[in-house]
């Protein structure tokens, strides 16, 4: 994130394309605004250990920081791990707080890529109780080749927003051996389920 300004200055921005920036606090927000960013994404976790490594604070402290950011700009998503089914209630709780702050979209992130369709389904069942389905998205890393299967489960639950990256670029410095986000090319070529019920 330290080179976000240089990246934004070095690319040619296209009409109709959003260029959000990750902003963990007010300092990051100020840098994003100075770079001409029109939308930001805050990123958190429902795990104290991961949150501590990623942004060096507790869950509660990070939520207070996010409130300051959300009060100033339009905010996109929070990314929260899918890896432990027994944490589903915690993910739902943190997600609801971020939604209530004003985040228009909550992107559920399997940051280390160990989610499975079963875990994903359980997580979404909890989330649907507290967040409108149209405000949910998924962010699946493909460490163990489960990203497309998890995305298919998400499609079946009527989720329509998927984060992806060109050729699966990315990763996480705090997740040993984690690969990048699911490849955009794979998502585009994956079969889509036929959904009914007027959706």
User: Residues with catalytic annotation?
Assistant: 172
Q: Which position has the token pair 């890896």?
A: 83
Are 73 and 53 a contacting pair, CB within 8 Å? Answer: no
Q: How far apart are CA 2 and CA 143, in angstroms?
A: 25
Residue 169 CB coordination number (10 Å): 12
Q: Which helix (H) or strand (E) holds 50?
A: helix 48-55
- What lies within 8 Å, CB to CB, of 176 at 6+ separation is none
């Amino acid at each position: 994130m330290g080179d976000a300004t240089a990246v934004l200055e070095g690319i040619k921005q296209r009409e109709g394309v959003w260029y959000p920036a990750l902003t963990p606090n007010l300092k990051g927000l100020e840098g994003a605004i100075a770079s001409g960013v029109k939308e930001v994404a805050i990123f958190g976790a429902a795990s104290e250990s991961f949150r501590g490594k990623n942004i060096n604070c507790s869950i509660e402290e990070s939520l207070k920081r996010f409130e300051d950011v959300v009060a100033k700009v339009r905010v996109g998503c929070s990314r929260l791990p899918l890896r432990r089914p027994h944490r589903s209630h915690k993910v739902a709780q943190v997600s609801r707080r971020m939604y209530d702050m004003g985040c228009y979209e909550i992107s559920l992130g399997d940051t280390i890529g160990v989610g499975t369709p079963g875990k994903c389904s359980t997580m979404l069942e909890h989330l649907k109780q507290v967040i409108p389905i149209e405000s949910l998205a998924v962010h699946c890393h493909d460490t163990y080749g489960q990203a497309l299967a998890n995305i298919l489960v998400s499609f079946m639950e009527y989720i329509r927003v998927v984060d992806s990256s060109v050729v699966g670029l990315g990763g996480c410095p705090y997740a040993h051996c984690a690969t990048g986000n699911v490849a955009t090319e794979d998502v585009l070529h994956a079969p889509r389920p036929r959904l009914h019920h007027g959706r």
